[in-house]
């Protein structure tokens, strides 16, 4: 059995909405393994985004235990959580979240410059990542001069440039056509396997289910079943 990267046990998260309480997570227990591609699927509002927000220490939970890379995240201070995310986690968003005023290479270099890496070194590493996603020729292009598929590949390069151990993708293909979506998933799969990273993909897109090592099905804040190796 592979090394466990994430170990969540009985995670409960409740949101208070006026007089009503919404139980977003109702006792989630799940292990995620090193170097796997886990897909988290289920209807809108079932708790998928809440769960990955807990795992990435963006959201506090009410009860239970969640160890990520061997650290219990509930005991971390806010400063420790921020540093932990910056060092260990990469994010790929549905809306790309590229900065319009920056070129592709500057967008990719951003996590490194924020972490204090010197500009020259950050740009060199960013260029290597753009090469890995086959976008070297677009390095100096701004996002509005790139196609949706190209913008998503820039976003992937940015998520991977600091070599995170865990990558979280929130609907990475939903705004792409079928061909671009396939290219993006093949890219994510190959790069994360090569780097030894772990990938969690939140998705409604059944066109990409075939890329998963395992599938975790969620409904009403619970994991109904996990399929795969």
Domain total in the chain: 1
Q: What share of the chain is helix, strand, coil (3-state, %, to 5)?
A: 40, 30, 30
Q: Give 60-79 pLDDT, tens digit per residue.
A: 999 999 999 999 999 999 99
- Whole-model pTM: value is 0.89
DSSP string, 191-222: HHHHHT-EEEEE---GGGGGG-SEEEEEETTE
229, pLDDT greater than 70: no
Sheet strand arrangement including 222-228: 89-92, 166-170, 198-202, 37-41, 214-219, 222-228
pLDDT cut 90: percent of the chain above it: 62
Name, in order, each residue with C-beta under 8 angstroms of 61's C-beta and a sequence gap of 6 or more: 11, 12, 13, 25, 54, 74
The CATH number of the domain where 220 resides is what? Answer: 3.40.50.300
The mean per-residue pLDDT over the stretch 178-198 comes to 85
Q: Is 176's pLDDT higher than 90?
A: no
Interatomic CA distance for residues 190 and 208, integer angstroms = 14
How does the average pLDDT of the chain come out, rounded? 90
Domain of residue 124 covers 4-228
Question: What are the CA-CA distances from residue 176 to residues 74, 141, 151, 180, 188 (Å)?
Answer: 36, 20, 10, 6, 15
Residue 1 has pLDDT above 60, yes or no: no
């Amino acid at each position: 059995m592979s090394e466990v990267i994430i170990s969540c046990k009985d995670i409960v998260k409740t949101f208070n909405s006026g007089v009503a309480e919404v139980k977003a997570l109702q006792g989630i227990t799940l292990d995620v393994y090193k170097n796997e591609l886990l897909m988290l699927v289920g209807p809108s509002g079932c708790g998928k985004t809440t769960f990955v927000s807990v795992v990435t220490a963006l959201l506090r939970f009410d009860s239970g235990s969640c160890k990520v890379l061997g650290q219990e995240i509930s005991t971390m201070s806010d400063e420790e959580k921020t540093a932990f995310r910056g060092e260990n986690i990469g994010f790929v968003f549905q809306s790309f979240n590229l900065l319009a005023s920056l070129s592709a290479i500057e967008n990719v270099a951003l996590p490194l410059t924020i972490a204090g890496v010197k500009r020259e070194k950050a740009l060199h590493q960013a260029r290597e990542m753009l090469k890995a996603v086959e976008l070297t020729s677009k390095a100096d292009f701004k996002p509005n001069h790139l196609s949706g598929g190209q913008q998503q590949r820039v976003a992937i390069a940015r998520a991977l440039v600091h070599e995170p151990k865990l990558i979280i993708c929130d609907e990475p293909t939903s705004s792409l056509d079928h061909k671009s979506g396939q290219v993006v998933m093949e890219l994510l799969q190959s790069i994360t396997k090569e780097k030894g990273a772990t990938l969690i993909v939140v998705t409604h897109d059944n066109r990409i289910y075939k890329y998963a090592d395992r599938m975790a099905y969620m409904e009403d804040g619970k994991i109904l079943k996990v399929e795969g190796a």
